[in-house]
Structure 1
């Protein structure tokens, strides 16, 4: 388990990729923007970037509507 911060809240998550983490949170990687340690993670890289101890994430959901 890794200690990270997600949207200002301390969390413990399984080791794996950023995509693994957001799926474990019940989110869909294709519908969000993820910032890791103040840098945007390109959506195409979410399955390649590994979560590391102490990472700080900001996750924003895209909401459709009109």
Structure 2
């Protein structure tokens, strides 16, 4: 069996492993980005109170007193 350009020898199993590895990294990076956003939001004094008051536009949230 010869390897086609851009693919390793071994068939679909190798491709499946590469896809699973990519998805694992993608989901981990996505979760890290979400956690960083939550941390940045929670760092601002008074942000919890502003969120508890109910729905608000981004401008209203930014102008909320600390």
Q: Which of the five TM-score ranges fits, normalised by the shorter chain?
A: under 0.3
TM-score, normalised with respect to structure 1: 0.23
Which one has more relative contact order, counting CA pairs under 8 Å at least 6 apart?
1
More strand per residue: 1 or 2? 1
TM-score, normalised with respect to structure 2: 0.23
More helix per residue: 1 or 2? 2
